[in-house]
Amino acid sequence: MKWSSLSERQILKAQAEGQLDDLKGAGKPLNARTGNDSDAAGFRIMAEAGVVPREFELRKEVEAMNAELKQLTEPEARKALIKKITGVQLRLDIEIEARRKYYRTS
């Protein structure tokens, strides 16, 4: 017996018994996936291993610095922080581009 026919039979049985009648989102289209499936798979594997990609660390760092920037009022401090944000954002962009190139050539 093929797995596809077994699963199809189970679905038909559940429908006949009414087990699928009150499911959340019934009759609505599924949400379109955004992003690259290979990226999602890679990030999931790293998350399960407890590893955080450098890209995520840099993104969090930029977000934290942007939040800090909103609180600053002194022009010189703001200017210095903007310079730091620009540097971290540049590193983030380099990481993103490197990942994209890696997946294109793999």
Full pLDDT tens readout for the chain, 106 residues: 677 788 888 889 988 998 888 888 877 887 766 666 777 787 788 888 888 788 889 999 999 999 999 999 999 999 999 999 999 999 999 999 998 888 777 5
pLDDT score, position 88: 97
Locate the domains of the chain by residue range. 53-106
Helix and strand numbers, DSSP H then E, in the chain: 4, 0
Backbone angles phi, psi at 30, to 5 degrees: -70, 150
Read off the pTM: 0.55
Q: Which of 100, 86, 39 is nearest to 58 (CA)?
A: 86
Q: What is the DSSP letter of 28?
A: S
Q: Which of 61, 60, 41, 38 is nearest to 49 (CA)?
A: 41
- Euclidean distance between CA atoms 77 and 28, whole angstroms: 51
| Tokens 């995520």 sit on residue | 56
Long-range contacts of the stretch 43-52 (C-beta < 8 A, 24+)? none
